[in-house]
Amino acid sequence: MMPELIPVLSKEDLEKSVAGIAKRISADYRHRKPILVGVLKGAFVFLSDLIRQLTIPVKIDFIRTASYGDETSSSGTVCLTKGLEIDINGEDVLVVEDIVDSGVTLRWILDYLNGLGPASVRICALVDKRERRQIDVHVDYACHVVQEGFLVGYGLDCAEDFRHLPAVYHLKK
Ligand code: IMP
Ligand code: MG
C-alpha cells in the first residue's frame, strides 16, 4: 500500500516559526558568538534556514549519530558516526536537532558535548514530540510541539525518503 502524507506544517508555518525562534536566539545570545551544532542528517534544512534569520554571528559544526532501531523508533543505543571539528571548550553551544522524540539521542549528545568543556549548552529543535519521551530533556527552543505521529519532510526522513519536501507531513502507513 502507498503511504499517505497528511500535511502538518506548511511552508508558511515553518517560515514563521523559524523566524520567531531566530529572533529569540538572536536576543538571548546578543554580544556572543555561539557555535551551532547541527545533528545530521535531519537538521540540515532547518539549520540552513535558521542561520539566515539570525542577527548574531555564529559558527557552524555538525555531528552525526546513529541509533540502531527500526525505521520509526529509536533503539536506545546511540553511537557517534561523525564528531565535532571545532573546539567547543569555553564556548556557548546551541545544538540544532530535527526532532526530539524519546530523548535518548539528545541525552547522549548532551553528555558527549558536556564532556568537551563548553561554557553552555542549549537545545533548539524543529519539533518537540512529547508522547514517547522517556528521558526528561529540556528543549530550550522548540519551533513546534506535537504529541505524536511520524513526521517527514523539511529534512526529516523515513528510511532516507522525503527529506526534500518543503513542508512537514504525517506519514501514515
Ligand atoms: P529519540 O532518540 O527517540 O529522541 O529520536 C531522535 C531522532 O530520531 C531524531 O533526531 C530523528 O532523527 C529521529 N526521529 C524521531 N521521530 C521522528 C519522526 O517523526 N520523523 C523522522 N525522524 C524522527
Ligand atoms: Mg536526528
Give 98 Cα–ligand 2 centroid separation in angstroms. 5
Give residue limits of the domains in the chain. Answer: 4-69+77-172
Our CA angle for 129, 66, 90, nearest 5°, is 80
Beta bridge partners of 124: 96, 141
Is residue 99 within 8 Å of 129, Cβ to Cβ?
yes
Atom of ligand 1 nearest to the CA of 42: 12
Q: Is 156 in the pocket of ligand 1 (CB under 6 A)?
A: yes
Q: What is the average pLDDT score of the chain? A: 94
Ion ligand 2: residue ranges with CB closer than 5 A = 39, 42, 98
pLDDT band at 66 (very low <50, low <70, confident <90, very high): confident
Q: How sure is the predictor about 3, in pLDDT bands with cuts at 50, 70 and 90?
A: confident
What local confidence, expressed as pLDDT, does residue 74 receive?
A: 66
CATH 1.10.10.920 for domain 4-69+77-172, yes or no, is no
Strands across the sheet containing 4-9: 4-9, 168-172, 151-152
Per-residue pLDDT reduced to its tens digit, 73-90: 666 788 999 999 999 999
Q: Catalytic residue numbers?
A: 101
Residue nearest to atom 23 of ligand 1 (CA): 99
- Return the residue whose CA atom lies nearest to atom 12 of ligand 1: 42
What is the model's pLDDT at position 22?
98
Helix (H) / strand (E) containing 17: helix 11-28
